[in-house]
Chains A and B, each alone.
Chain A
Amino acid sequence: MKTFRTGRRAHKAGPKTRAGEAIDLLAPIVGRDAIICDPVELATYECDGLTHFRVRPALAVLVGSSHDVEAVVGTCARLALPFVARGAGTGLSGGAVPDSEGVLLVTSRMRAVLSVQANNQRAVVEPGVTNLEVSKAALPHGLFYAPDPSSQQVCSIGGNVAENSGGAHCLKYGFTTNHVTELEVVTPDGATVKLGGMVGETPGYDLVGAFVGSEGTLGVATKVTVRLLRLPAAVQTVLAAFSDTDSAGRAVSAIIAAGLVPAAIEMMDALAISAAEKAVHCGYPKGAGAVLIVELDGPLAEVEESLLDVNHHCLEQGAFEMRLAVDDADRARIWRGRKSAFAAMGHLSSSYIVQDGVVPRTALPQVLRDIAKLSEETGIRVANVFHAGDGNLHPLVLFDERVAGEEARAEQLSAQILDLCIAHGGSITGEHGVGLDKLTAMSKMFSEDDLATMQLLKAAFDPHRICNPGKAVPTPRLCGEPPRPRRGTQPLQEQGLAELF
């Protein structure tokens, strides 16, 4: 039994606010130690992995059980208080940015792996369990949990459910929504509901399918049942170096056109490679204008033949160096560069915007050229890291906030990249979600009617709009304000501004 921090200072008596009332109602249930209302402490929860949006919540509750979650949500429903759920706070679209008048519900203490049922190929976990922990728990049974976002050692399953997270291996294995069969959810009225079941194909509406990817706007998941897959017999990882992204892109097309289905195909351009090199010394081939990491897995015979094909296609499209991982440590080294790419940008630039967009695979070469052109025209550097296999781009737009106007130009470039994605029939977000960050972009991708239809689903779950309000799906007619990035650290200042969107 874990002991938690004791000795929270008593909440100061003052004019009764709804937040104050909430504390009084919740303290006997969740424990006073689980409630944070000190402004300095609350400020540490003001943002998630995206630091542009910072809002301090009125209070935060570190829930320890589904019972606690029910109590918090029920209390919020009673007091008409908005609430926002947060896992590890690593999201990149501001989905866990708190509401200044509401409760931040933090699931980091609900981190038990409740069961691993190897014979049913299922695991049941609490929402605060990290993604990697699920695979670790499954490993002794020869199983693994397929969706593997780069932040998997820290991001929570609850967060994965909210964002429908993917990861490098989603090319072959799909996303969170393809691997969750059952959820226990507390809906915004405070009731606990079971969605789905141990087996898939539950009769009725696919509520699990509707909930996964809803970015915490339909309720809070308190138990997640995931599918586990058999670890593949063989894994082969290849690092291929090309002189430019065009030839690398052609190699990707050739591989797909040949009917191969690698587990992952990742690409990084020269700028991204240099950052990764500085951060983790991955030792990618010198002089590469682009690298491809292709991973194949499955039955041994299948993998061996596919590997020959992949090598052939890469060489044919001009790869000047091919490296095959000789063991697991080698494989980890190859992946380390890719997985640390975002955070490694700090070595190249004081600030940067991580963009996330999707284009049809066949449009990749053209879009990369367009981005390069935009970058040249604006003088803003863009490092490209992406899931080449499914057309999911992560342009990292670098800028120095101390240079006048550079930040604004960077934002503009970032928005233009999304426009490119839409123009090619793609999407404004492949993984990171809409959150706060892409609310205005939603109106570019979807019509008012489309958004109004999505709101019909929201209305069924959350008629009083207290569950993570103002995120993910804009209410039509109110999404005109572009969200602006913040640089300051004084949350009191930011609050007023950050609410305007």
Chain B
Amino acid sequence: MPEGHDERLKDLVGDCVHCGFCLPACPTYALWGEEMDSPRGRIHLFGQVLSGGPIESATVKHFDSCLSCMACVTACPSGVQYGEIVEAARDQVEQSAKRPLPERLSRSAIFALFPYPRRLRVARLFLLAAQASGLRALLRRPKVAARAPALLRAMESVAPPITPIERLPPRVPAVGNRRGVVGLLTGCVQSVFFSGINAATARVLAAEGFEVVIPKGQGCCGALSEHVGRKSEALRLAKKTIEVFKAAEVDFVVVNAAGCGSATKEYSRLFQDDPSFSAEADWFASRTRDISELLASVGSRAKRHPVRARIAYHDACHLAHAQGIRLQPRALLQEIPELDMCEIEDTMCCGSAGIYNLVQPDAANELGDRKAAAVVAAEPTIVVTSNPGCLMQIRSALERSGSEIRTAHIVEVLDNSIRGG
């Protein structure tokens, strides 16, 4: 690692005064009560590594178990940049540590699939076939599930019901006076499994006076890879994404997935060691907007029709903690007539966290169950969020608990309201 970088990391680690305020915010500390699986403990572990300590399997395990939810960053009174620390830690782990073979195969499989929409579409067909033939339901039977590989089980459990793909044209014109031109990041998982959300996003943006450009050839923004420390892969995917949008000449890049929004806003830091591309990275990062952030900032123009529902808004970690966006989605929902809002008391991460629910299914399930219980306690009819990962996780947890509460992305609610309620 470059010398200067090491010094900076030592400084970051030194910022931690060991006060422990992060502990109650941390999902893994809530689950296991172990110092090593708390932000304070992980910072300490990384400090040991920076001082020359070995990267042991224990160290790897504790970094792997971090959800990167950034709740600790919000809770920390000393301003410790935990996000940067854990990323650097994961980077080092990827480069130097050896994982057991089954784990390595799992990860390779996941990253051979998820960042590539075309491959995801193939996987989708398999899931569709499994769904239609009843094989999917079979996989849920306890005896079968017990024998199936954990990864397969986890994937099946979070994957949403397969619906037809809604195709998007390359350009959607603005309704009324044009306020600007925005690019739509279609995402990887989102574009294949939640194409309806992307379509809704385009419609809402258009209704609010934006011309929407949906560039072809988009892949994954690199968020998933970046969060687990597969840095070169993340750089490759990010570069492609940036190039695709640069060519499109847009005022803003609109993101409807919290994870993607948080990752793209940090492109500047991702490319800090690559001066040849940093200007483009900066350009992109400065133009990224979450859909609720953009709409709240320009003010709503399109008429909102009543939506009779009681909605609990779930803050995706990467929107609330990583981007600081909490009020805007709520403000947008409040504009809808006859919509009743309630708050979920437990704001802890739902356990989705990128690919976390695939590689740490037990922990993710527990967190999901916890979130589902909190959602049920708030008694909404629909729980709304701004992230596909959260949607899948919460939907699957609610199903497990036998609840009939529905899930929706915020743009689906807005779209519904604009189109007639």
Contacts and interface: CB of A to CB of B under 8 A. Distances in A.
Interface stretch (B13-21, B333-341, B413-421): B13-21
Interface in B5-27: 14-15, 17-21, 23-24
Indicate the size class of the contact surface on chain A: 35 or more
Interface string A261-291: 0000000000000000001100000000000
A145 to B, nearest CB: 16
Interface string B305-342: 00000000000000000000000000000000000000
Contact of A346 (B36, B59, B79): B79
Nearest to A87: B20
B354 interface: no
Given A3-B362, A347-B79, A154 B33 contact: no
A220 B316 CA distance: 40
A477 B17 CA distance: 33
Interface stretch (A42-50, A186-194, A457-465): A42-50
A483 B373 CA distance: 49
Interface string B41-58: 100110110111110111
B84 interface: no
B36 to A, nearest CB: 5
Nearest to A279: B77
B33 A109 contact: yes
Contacts of B76: 343
Contacts of A340: 77
A111 interface: yes
B20 A89 contact: yes
A75 B342 CA distance: 51
Contacts, number: 108
A49 B18 contact: yes
Interface string B205-242: 00000000000000000000000000000000000000
B78 A343 contact: yes
B200 to A, nearest CB: 34
A45 B40 CA distance: 10
Contacts of B14: 350
Nearest to A346: B78
Contact of A4 (B32, B57, B79): B32
Contacts of B44: 43-44, 489
Contact of B48 (A36, A40, A128, A151): A40
B232 to A, nearest CB: 27
A108 B79 CA distance: 25
A108 B33 contact: yes
A134 to B, nearest CB: 13
A90 B37 CA distance: 16
Interface in B66-97: 76-79
A130 interface: yes
A12 interface: no
Interface in A77-115: 88-90, 106, 108-109, 111
Chain A CB within 10 A, most for which of B18, B32, B33, B366: B33
Contact of B36 (A44, A89, A111): A44
A51 B53 contact: no
Contacts of B343: none
Given A43-B48, A44-B44, A489-B47, A154 B20 contact: yes
Contacts of B57: 9
Contacts of A111: 33
Contacts of B47: 489
A347 B78 contact: yes
A361 B32 CA distance: 44
B361 to A, nearest CB: 12
B31 interface: yes
A153 B24 contact: yes
Interface string A131-160: 000000000000000000001011100000
Contacts of A343: 17, 19, 21, 76-78
Contacts of A108: 33-35
B31 A2 contact: yes
Nearest to B77: A343
B56 to A, nearest CB: 5
Contacts of A41: 36, 58, 62
B41 to A, nearest CB: 4
A490 B48 CA distance: 7
Chain B CB within 10 A, most for which of A45, A128, A343: A343
B31 A90 contact: no
A155 B23 CA distance: 10
Given A154-B24, A489-B48, A40 B59 contact: yes
A153 B19 CA distance: 11
Given A340-B77, A489-B50, 11 more contacts: A40-B48, A41-B36, A41-B58, A50-B18, A151-B21, A154-B19, A342-B77, A346-B15, A346-B17, A346-B77, A489-B44
Leading 3 A-B pairs by shortest Cβ distance = A343-B77, A108-B33, A346-B78
6 contacts: A9-B58, A38-B58, A40-B48, A41-B58, A154-B20, A279-B77
